[in-house]
Amino acid sequence: MTAFVRPGLSRRQWLAGAAALGASSLLPRAVLAATPSPLLTVATRTIEVKKRAATVFGILGANGKPGLEASEGARLSGLVHNATKEPLILHFHGQVLYANDQDRARTGGGETAPGALEPVDFPLTTGTHWMHSHLLSEQQLLAAPLITREMDAPAIREVVIMLHDFAFRSPAEIMAELGGASAHGAHGAAADPHAGHAGHGAPAAAPADPHAAHMAGAMSGMVHANDVRYDAFLANDRSFDDPEVVRVDKGEKVRLRIINGATATAFILDTGRLAATCIAVDGSPCQAHAVQTLPLAQGQRVDLVVEIPRDGGAFPIVAQVEAATQRTGIVLATAGAKVARIGNDASRAAAHADLGFDLGLAAAAPLPPPSAPARAIHIMLGEEPGYRWTLNGKTHGEHTPLAAKSGERLEIMFMNPTSMMHPMHLHGHHFQVVEVNGLRFSGPVRDTVIVPPRTMVTVAVDAGAPGSWYLHCHHLYHMATGMMTELVVS
Ligand SMILES: [Cu+2]
């Protein structure tokens, strides 16, 4: 175990620690700066993309490597150092045990100023999770794995794969191309909120009646994906020009922990000649499910176990952009195996990301029957002229928060009459997918769900810790232009 984590503590110890933390957070910055090395440092770094140098962000652990790994029962306790020149809002995606005010993406901002240190202290949620910027800087690879290994994880080789979409242009330039104006995460993207139409996709429906009529009225028109043009797609910072090659042994099983850290791209994963078994999605275990191709939307994770054939070889693990030909990935190869060149483009476009995979999944631990009937919450996803994305007709800032009592069972129905898929994510909670277009089922437990165009998806969730939790589309530019609300739990 590394220095940044402490073994599990009793609740009493945890509360004492939290009280101490509250006191330490009142200390002047200079005192905090004198404390031992931070457990996480957000800094710039240089990578090479298509033979060009690119300055991007990184989240480094105390060992200088990207991301953090810990064991079940550990706490994340220490300081986060923003060693960049930009304000930072760091979100611990998939974590449910932190206090709301430790999520730097909490309502009301809570930015970490350039050069500042912020304390964090919470018990880690087990599984394959990640952390990322909640501002436009996410585009510049401000994201890293946050893996808490399960006590009962099989003792097999593990490979973490972090996917990104990459542009040499700044996020502000991309936002300007889209014609959007930031409602959240606006840094460096000043734009006129009354700017002209973006000219993308289907014409937007009037937001006047945000319910059934709107849904029905928008059920025609083209469906599209990939509204941002990228220069490269990366797996562990590398493209298929020069992919990461992971040495594996003949006949061994390997656990892939795959994280989609892309900002505006869903991928279709393909394990090729390797038969795969899905054992968890978004860090939550599911009943073992055989699979070879599956969608992975922005923010989602999947744990796959693959078995290397006894005669060995080289086995690409491919992530192809949905509805497009571009692809990235890594290669698993046994000793001496020839690694053939894999192009950055497939010969055929991949499918759109949809819910076919989820419909075949069942959670290992579904939500228990509720003590009282679930309360329904309807959320209409919306698309308006000027690259303005809404929830119930409102952008973030115009929104009325959703309210719930801690422990209350909610069923949140997302209705999507827009022309694009939206991966919907709720902070600080894991939910269960329970209905698609009226079909009830006991689906996977997740924290980010694909809501395809012209589709209604319902998730069940028990309102968690008191606080104000963001609920938003995980397409960065949809979120930044308005597609975000909050669930206020009291
Ligand atoms: Cu969206």
The rounded Å distance from CA 476 to ligand 1 centre is: 8
Predicted structure pTM score: 0.87
- Residue 169 covered by a domain: no
Ligand 1 center–CA 480 separation, angstroms:
10
Q: How many angstroms does the Cα of residue 168 sit away from the middle of ligand 1? A: 22
Confidence at 489, pLDDT banded by 50, 70, 90? very high
Sign of the torsion angle spanned by Cα atoms 367, 369, 375, 378? positive
Q: Tell how far the Cα of 87 is from the centroid of ligand 1, in angstroms.
A: 24
Last residue of some domain: 134, 153, 172? 153
The answer, yes or no, to whether residue 32 has pLDDT greater than 80, is no
Give yes or no for residue 47 having a pLDDT over 60.
yes
Average pLDDT over residues 56-69: 93
Render pLDDT for 208-236 as a digit per residue (tens, 0 to 9). 333 443 444 444 568 999 999 999 999 99
Q: Phi-psi region for residue 2, left (φ > 0), alpha (ψ -120 to 50) or beta?
A: beta
Same domain, 144 and 30: yes
Q: 484 CA to middle of ligand 1, Å?
A: 9
Gap from CA of 298 to ligand 1 centroid (Å): 10
- For residue 364, is it left (φ>0), alpha (ψ between -120 and 50) or beta? alpha
Does residue 397 fall inside a structural domain? yes
Same domain as 246, residue 210: no
Alpha carbon of 21 to ligand 1 centroid (Å): 36
Expressed in angstroms and rounded, the spacing between residue 243 Cα and the centre of ligand 1 is: 29
367 and 481 in a single domain? The answer is yes
> Span 197-210, mean pLDDT?
35
Distance from the CA of 381 to the center of ligand 1, in angstroms? 8
Question: Of 332, 359, 386, which residue sits at a domain end?
Answer: 359
Give distance in angstroms: CA of 455 to centre of ligand 1.
13
pLDDT at residue 151, as a whole number? 95
Using the mean position of ligand 1's atoms as its centre, give its distance from the Cα of residue 142 in Å.
19
422 and 349 share one domain: no
pLDDT in tens, 127-142: 999 999 988 999 999 9
Residues with CB under 5 A from ligand 1 (ion): 422, 473, 475, 478
Residues 10 and 128 in one domain: yes
The CATH number covering residue 146 comes to 2.60.40.420
Q: Ligand 1: distance of its center to the CA of 340 in Å?
A: 36
Dmax (CA) for the chain in angstroms is 64
Q: What is the pLDDT of residue 38?
A: 86
What distance in angstroms lies between residue 224's CA and the mean position of ligand 1's atoms? 12
The most confident of the ranges 177-186, 205-214, 446-455 is 446-455
- Report the phi/psi class of residue 442: left, alpha or beta, with left for phi > 0 and alpha for psi in -120 to 50: beta
Ligand 1 center to residue 392 CA distance, Å?
A: 13
Same domain, 144 and 198: no
Q: How far is the CA of 473 from the centre of ligand 1 (A)?
A: 5
Least confident of 16-25, 430-439, 462-471: 16-25
Tell me the C-alpha distance between 192 and 17, whole Å: 46
pLDDT at residue 16 above 80? no
Q: Which two tokens stand for residue 335?
A: 């000793």
pLDDT value at 30 more than 80: no
Q: What is the mean pLDDT of the chain?
A: 86
What pLDDT shows up at residue 269?
98
Residue 52 alpha carbon to ligand 1 centre in Å: 30
> Comparing 110-124, 149-163, 329-343, 445-459, which segment has the lowest mean pLDDT?
110-124
What are residue 105's phi and psi, to 5 degrees? -100, 25
Angle in degrees, CA 330, 258, 144, rounded to 5 = 95
Alpha carbon of 157 to those of 72, 246, 306, 336: distances in Å?
17, 11, 10, 19
Instruction: Calculate how far, in angstroms, residue 123's C-alpha sits from the geometric centre of ligand 1.
Output: 30
In a domain, 460, yes or no: yes
Question: Are residues 482 and 349 both part of a single domain?
Answer: no
**266 and 415 share a domain?**
no
| pLDDT (tens digit per residue) in 386-421 | 999 999 999 999 999 999 999 999 999 999 999 999
Listed range (1-15, 72-86, 182-196, 237-251) with the worst mean pLDDT: 1-15
Instruction: State the residue range of the domain holding 93.
Output: 5-153
Q: How far is the CA of 284 from the centre of ligand 1 (A)?
A: 23
In a shared domain, residues 340 and 368: no
264 plus 280 within the same structural domain:
yes
Tell me, in angstroms, the distance from the centre of ligand 1 to residue 462's CA.
Answer: 24
> How far, in Å, from the CA of 372 to the mean position of ligand 1?
32
Q: How many angstroms is it from 419 CA to the middle of ligand 1?
A: 10
Buried b (16+ CB within 10 A) or exposed e, 246-268: bebeeeeebbbbbbbbbbbbbbb
My answer on whether 314 and 338 are in the same domain is yes
Is the domain of 34 the same as that of 147?
Answer: yes
Q: What's the number of domains the chain is made of?
A: 3
The model's pLDDT over 269-311, given as tens digits with 9 standing for 90+, comes to: 999 999 999 999 999 999 999 999 999 999 999 999 999 999 9
